[in-house]
Structure 1
């Protein structure tokens, strides 16, 4: 696969403190790359360095196979972005704001209406932006980022200000972009459930350091599922299973069996039934992305 974005030891220091420290990102063509971390983790600072909005203290940025700082004009022509909150002329309509961006991006007329259609603002295009809701402004910002139908689309917290219905629409839009328009998408978020549903690969950053990078499947594999068993006598069940070489740890009203396969689960069930201990429930418990994230960061931060 072609590499669309790569960084080498990318760092940003303010005073004596690093906001981003030796980050090595790799984003491949056609991916939806979820950039995940708590507020203040370094996500926005990293994205700003990818787009030339902040100068790295150290490190290198390669986009579309070229050194960004040697080819910034050509690269930015093929890149769309929405960083932090979008900026508009409030006294102009949505369409007029799009026309301003059209001239800056030298985009064809058809792109304007198509972008507005994609974010479902075509019926609101003649309303002044000062009269837009926060969610409408966010969607207009996404439309502006889409205007040139770029090879790389960078979105920083794109669902901010959207209601649940709007979040769902943006989610489906982002998922469709690689296949429908050939775009590669980088999306940052502190909303773990959103990244889990959108991204094909993920990078997790905390305190300026990249803690994990890889496919969503690889991240999920870091979590070995637990088998939870509830019996009518958990204390006796735990002792019996331990005598059979199966460790069962109390976890509330159930026993947790870590790292065992289906054959051993069946063996555990058989041991309990043969000993006359009623098995009330057996279930597999898989940790979600949030629990894996908290394990990687080593502490519960505000998300």
Structure 2
């Protein structure tokens, strides 16, 4: 697979404190890469280093297989970005703002029209941006990032402040980009639920360090199945099961079995009934992704 972004020990210090330390990102062509971490974890600083907006203290950045410093202009020509919040002239219309960016990017008129259509702003392009809602301003920022139809799109918290309908719109838009336009997307967020629904691969950063990087399926696989069983006599049930080589954990009013096959659940149920122990509840439980995130970062999933 083609590496779109590869960093090696990328680091940034401010006043002797690391905001990002030894970051090794790997983003491949066609990925929707979710860059996840609590607020203040170093996400924006890392993205700014990828775009040359912040000079690294140490480490290397390669994009499209090329070293960033020596190929900066070529790389940025093929990269669209929205970092922190969209920049715009409030006294100009949405279309006029797009024209300003068009001149900078030197792209044809059809790109402007298509980008506005993609983010569903065609009918509002004549309105002053100062009159736009927050969601419309975010969509305009994404349209500006899309205008050159880049190979790589980097979005920093693009759903910040949006209502549920706006979040859903942006989510559907981002999910469509790899297939429709062949784009690779790197999107940062502090919301696990957002990344879970949109990303194919995830990197989790905490205190400036990358603590997890793999596919979303790999993260979900950490959510092992457990079976919780409640009986009319927990102590007696546990004793009977231990004598028959089952070793459940006693948690609250339940006996807990980790990753046990259905056939053994049926055997356990039948065994207890045979000994006259009434089984009142059998539940399948899975660890929530939020719990996994908490274990990895020591923080709640949305701050």
Greater shift after overlay, 38-47 or 218-227? 218-227
State how 1:80-95 maps to structure 2 within 5 Å.
Answer: 80-95=80-95
Cα offset, 1:300, TM superposition: 4.4
Task: Indicate conservation of the 8 Å contact 2:241/2:268, yes or no.
Answer: yes
List runs of 5+ in structure 2 lacking aligned partners: none
Structure 2 CA distance, aligned partners of 1:166 and 1:235? Answer: 52
- Whether 1:147 and 2:174 are equivalent positions in the alignment is no
Q: Could you state the TM-score of these two structures normalised by the residue count of structure 1? A: 0.95
| Residue 299 of structure 1: how far off its partner (Å) | 4.7
Cα distance, 1:183 vs. partner? 0.3
TM-score, with length taken from structure 2: 0.95
Q: Which residue is equivalent to 2:33?
A: 33
Tell me the residue number matched to 1:110: 110
Q: Distance in 2 between matches of 1:302 and 1:53?
A: 27
Aligned position for 2:234 = 234
Give the Cα separation in 1 of the matches to 2:275 and 2:299. 41
**What aligned pairs does 1:34-183 form with structure 2 within 5 A after superposition?**
34-183=34-183
1:234, 1:199 → 2: CA distance?
Answer: 42
**Does the 8 Å CA contact 1:138/1:161 hold for their aligned counterparts?**
no
Q: How far apart are the structure 2 equivalents of 1:261 and 1:34?
A: 33
1:302 is displaced (CA, Å) by: 5.8
Aligned residue for 1:123, secondary structure, equals helix
- Mapped to 1, the partners of 2:31 and 2:192 lie a distance apart of 18
Ranges of 4+ aligned residues in structure 1 off by more than 6 Å: none
Q: Measured at CA, do residues 253 and 93 of structure 1 come closer, stay the same or move farther in structure 2, by a change above 3 Å?
A: farther
SS in 1 for 2:284: strand
CA contact 2:31–2:184 (8 Å) conserved in 1: yes
Query: Quick one: structure 1 residues 129 and 263, their matched pair in 2 at CA, closer, same or farther if it must change by over 3 Å?
Result: same
Shift in Å at residue 253 of structure 1?
A: 4.2
